[in-house]
Structures are given as C-alpha cells and as structure tokens.
Amino acid sequence: MTGTTTVLLLILAFSAAASGLATVSEGNLQFAIDTAVFDIGAGDTLLLEVYQEVDVAQFSVDSDGMCLFTTEITLSSSAGDTLAWDIWNTPLEWRESGSAVNCGLLPVLEGDWTVSVRMTDVANGIQGVAVRQLSVERPEHLSDVELARTIMPAAQGSVNTLLKGNLIVFPAASTRFSIPGESMIYTYQELYALGGAEILRYSRLLDSESVPVFARPPDAISIPSGMETIALIDSLDLSVVREPGLYSLSITYTLNGDTIGTVTKPMVVEVFIPAVSSPAVNDFTTRELAGFSILLTQEEGVLYNRLDEDAQVLYYDNYWNARPGEHGGYLDRSRVVDRRFPSLGNQGWETDMGRVYLIFGEPDEVEADPFSTTQAPYEIWYYYDAEQESFVFADLMGNGNFIQIFSSVEGEVSYPNWQSMLQNVNNGGGTTMDLVDEYF
C-alpha cells in the first residue's frame, strides 16, 4: 500500500466524524481537494478557491522524464446548472515521491453548490473525480481558514496561482500532516470590515473530542483605520501531538471582550515514532564502504584514501566499533541514499542531497517548490537540533540534479546570494557550473 493510499484511507475514515476535511477522489487517479471562500468586494460575488493535491508518481512519464495532466473544475447548482467552469494542463517533472499542488479560482454566490474536480493523465487517459457539496454564506468578518504547508515571499512579477498579495501559500489540500516531518503548519485567513479595531486572536489545537491539546496566549492585532480587508498568516507547532488521529484548529477573535466569530478547521495528523535499537556489538555482516569517507574529517579522509582495500575495511570496522550502536543507522541512511538520490549517472552518495542525508539523516522539515515557472525548483532541508541548521538545494538546469547552494553549517558550500540564483530560470543552455560561476 502506498503512502498516498494510506493518507486517503485515513481521510475517508475520519470524514464521517468531521466536515471540512479534504474530499478524496474516486477512480483510478487518486487525489484530494479542499476549498475556501473569500470576499473579494465584488457585490454578491465571492471567490471560491479549490485546492488539489496529487501524488506525482501516479502519472505516466515520457522519455524526457516529464508528465502531463489536465484538471477540470465545475461549479454547479443542485438543479445541475453550471455557474463556473475552468480547465488547464499541468506539465511537470516526474518524481518517484512528492506531490503536485494546484489551485483553481471560481466566482461563487451564496447558496448550496456542488464542486466537481476531474483530473486526467493525458498520456493514458486515467482519471479520478472528486465531488464536494458546498453551502456558501457571505462572511461577515471572517473568511474560511486555508491550511498550508509553507508560506514564502513571491518573486517580483510572479503569476503563480498560489499567490496571495506578495506571498505564495502552498495549501495542504489533503488536510493531512505527518509528524515529525511536518512539525509546523501554516494558516491563511482574511478579516473584513474591522478597520480601526483592536482585536484578540485565540488559537487552539483540539483533539477528536474537542479537548485542547495546545492553547496559545492571545495575539493582539491592530487593524488600521479604513482597512476593509486584511490578510493574516500564522503558524502552529504540531510537535505537541503524541497520538495519530483527527484534530482541529480552532481560531476565535474577540473585540472588547465580545466574540466576533470562531472558525474551526479539521485535519488528520499522522505520528511516526522511529524505532530505537539497543546498542549492540557490530558484527559487520554488511559493510557499506561506498560513501563512507564522506563521514570523515579532511585529514581522516586523506589517510583513508591512501589505504589499500584490506586496510580500508579495518579502518571502517575500527571507526564503527568506536561508535557502538551507530553502524545500523549508517547502513539505513546508505540504503535510502542509494534509492532516493542518484542523479545524472552519479550514485546517491555522490550527489549533494545524498551526501547531506548520509551525514545528517532525514531532515526534520522540508520546504519544497518543484513547480514554479518563475524560479528554479528548490528544496530547503531543516534540522531542528541545538543549532537549527538548514540546507538549500536547487535544480538550476531543470534536469533533476539538485546542487547545494546554501547551508548554515560552517564549512559547507554556501553562496552568499543564493536567493538570486533561484530566480535564474534555465532555458536549457549551459551547464550547472556555468550558472554557479555567474555569481562570482
């Protein structure tokens, strides 16, 4: 069973207990959708945002490593009349893991509506359809809450469909989060007709029985006079969650002690507790010499590389015997690196991502933007140890080879203007090193 299938089954299992969770598609193509309604100040017309999240590995891949799918969204009344419709194609690089996120924008009026999303793999015609019933009311002061995996500044002139003001909000369309991989969640919400008000925001995380798991002190928010609409972003630490299950984020706003309104957004939280192995004597039934020298200091590496094969094996054994219980973790990381990070004829440990993974292990959080048309695809890996280190990798050539362009770790490759490097969207010419050399 794939991770995506597990997620969809979890959402289905909880859907009867909570409204507002993602809607899961039916058919051979599995994806999840979520919705949010905002007031755009256009009379009776409101804005419906429809978010979709789909596992990229489901799509067929062509000889260039690309895939293409079509998304069609229809908003219709209970009588079957169509109010709004949109369709578009999404080309992207195929990946064994990871998801694609899209957002469709439709005008909507107050009332009961049905939103239908059809997704089709263009290469083979495989489809999935998600249908969601909506009851739309004009918000008095509070819009719906959009759950997001990350929020980042937008490049100047960006036309990304996930753009809100000068920010790009990556929605968590599946309304599902995994701990410890996603210890932080983000929210986007709009407030209306509160210009000049001094309000308080109370944020709580509730379990399936509405018992608070986490409650934060109120945030004081001053809204400028004359401001009809303001956008609020927030983040919440999910590391307090210890058990998997159905949770909800409850946000309440008060003015002069009176409640303006409360918005509740449910979510599914998965909790993965890594197995802890007891220290044991290394028997070295299995050795992984390839990439081992990456773990060594520069002086140790020079010495190791001068040794013949028998002496390297002895050095390897002595190294791990001095670190009881750590050899198994190294072998586990090596297997992941071999499977996940090979690129352009290089073995996994020879790539920048593979090297960092081999040394530091699985990141605590990954911020990724693999689909932007205005900048190079990139990933930021965060490690929340005492130093709170980070690494930035970018596919500057658009060929799937992510090179390291920044790190907070002293001595690691780190270009001072790495943000500018991300804006260089490659047109297919040159080499990776040509692009790197432009900044020096």
Q: What is the CATH number of the domain that holds 216?
A: 2.60.40.3880
Q: What is the pLDDT of residue 46?
A: 96
Residue 286 lies in a domain: no
Between the two ends of the chain, the Cα-to-Cα distance in Å is: 48
Residue 284 lies in a domain: no
Q: What is the pLDDT of residue 282?
A: 62
Q: Which of these three, 73, 106, 138, is where a domain ends?
A: 138
Q: What is the pLDDT of residue 13?
A: 44
Residue 311 lies in a domain: yes
Q: What is the pLDDT of residue 424?
A: 56
Indicate the pairing of strand 146-153 with strand 111-121.
Answer: unpaired
- Residue with the bigger pLDDT between 142 and 431: it is 142
Q: What is the pLDDT of residue 371?
A: 65
For residue 67, the domain's CATH number is 2.60.40.10
Q: What is the pLDDT of residues 385-407, one digit of tens each?
A: 767 889 999 988 877 788 999 99
Q: What is the pLDDT of residue 386?
A: 60
Average pLDDT, the chain: 85
Q: Which of these three, 92, 118, 138, is where a domain ends?
A: 138
User: Does residue 155 register a pLDDT over 80?
Assistant: no
Question: Based on the domain organization, do 320 and 419 belong to the same domain?
Answer: yes
Q: What is the pLDDT of residue 154?
A: 77
User: Does residue 103 register a pLDDT over 60?
Assistant: yes
Question: Based on the domain organization, do 157 and 248 belong to the same domain?
Answer: yes
User: Does residue 132 register a pLDDT over 90?
Assistant: yes
Task: Give the pLDDT mean for 283-304.
Answer: 83
Residue 88 lies in a domain: yes
Least trusted range by pLDDT, from 162-176, 234-248, 275-289, 331-345 = 275-289
Dist. CA 145–CA 251, nearest whole Å: 9
Dist. CA 7–CA 30, nearest whole Å: 10
Residue 429 lies in a domain: yes
Q: Which of these three, 83, 118, 138, is where a domain ends?
A: 138
Task: Give the pLDDT mean for 227-253.
Answer: 91
Task: Give me the percent of the chain exceeding a pLDDT of 70.
Answer: 88
Answer for the pair 197, 150: CB distance below 8 angstroms, yes or no. Answer: no
Q: What is the pLDDT of residue 281?
A: 52
User: Does residue 110 register a pLDDT over 70?
Assistant: yes
Task: Say which amino acid occupies 400.
Answer: G
User: Does residue 278 register a pLDDT over 80?
Assistant: no
Least trusted range by pLDDT, from 28-42, 326-340, 420-434 = 420-434
Q: What is the pLDDT of residue 352?
A: 94
* Beta bridge partner(s), residue 53: 32, 101
Question: Based on the domain organization, do 32 and 74 belong to the same domain?
Answer: yes
Question: Based on the domain organization, do 333 and 376 belong to the same domain?
Answer: yes
Closest to 270 (Cα-Cα) out of 387, 181, 346: 181
User: Does residue 18 register a pLDDT over 60?
Assistant: no
Q: What is the pLDDT of residue 283?
A: 63
User: Does residue 213 register a pLDDT over 50?
Assistant: yes
Question: Based on the domain organization, do 96 and 4 belong to the same domain?
Answer: yes
Question: Based on the domain organization, do 340 and 224 belong to the same domain?
Answer: no
Residue 287 lies in a domain: no
Residue 278 lies in a domain: no
Task: Give me the percent of the chain exceeding a pLDDT of 90.
Answer: 47
Task: Give the pLDDT mean for 84-113.
Answer: 91
Question: Based on the domain organization, do 153 and 246 belong to the same domain?
Answer: yes
In angstroms, how far is CA 178 from the centroid of its own chain? 10
Compute the half-sphere exposure of residue 134: CA atoms within 13 Å on the CB side of its CA.
30
Dist. CA 177–CA 237, nearest whole Å: 11
- Residue with the bigger pLDDT between 417 and 193: it is 193
Which two tokens mark 200? 């308080």
Neighbours of 51 (CB within 10 A): 27
Q: What is the pLDDT of residue 225?
A: 94
Count of domains forming the chain: 3
Task: Give the pLDDT mean for 316-335.
Answer: 88
Which two tokens mark 295? 């773990």
Order of strands, edge to edge, in the sheet holding 229-237? Answer: 163-164, 167-171, 146-153, 184-192, 229-237
For the ranges 170-174, 309-313, 423-427, the one whose mean pLDDT is highest: 170-174
User: Does residue 109 register a pLDDT over 70?
Assistant: yes
Answer for the pair 235, 205: CB distance below 8 angstroms, yes or no. Answer: no
Question: Based on the domain organization, do 79 and 183 belong to the same domain?
Answer: no
Question: Based on the domain organization, do 143 and 133 belong to the same domain?
Answer: no
Answer for the pair 379, 368: CB distance below 8 angstroms, yes or no. Answer: yes
Question: Based on the domain organization, do 112 and 249 belong to the same domain?
Answer: no
Question: Based on the domain organization, do 87 and 173 belong to the same domain?
Answer: no
Task: For residue 57, give its domain range.
Answer: 1-138
Q: Is 165 left (phi over 0), alpha (psi -120 to 50) or beta?
A: left
Phi and psi angles of residue 239, each rounded to the nearest 5 degrees, phi first? -65, -10
Question: Based on the domain organization, do 117 and 151 belong to the same domain?
Answer: no
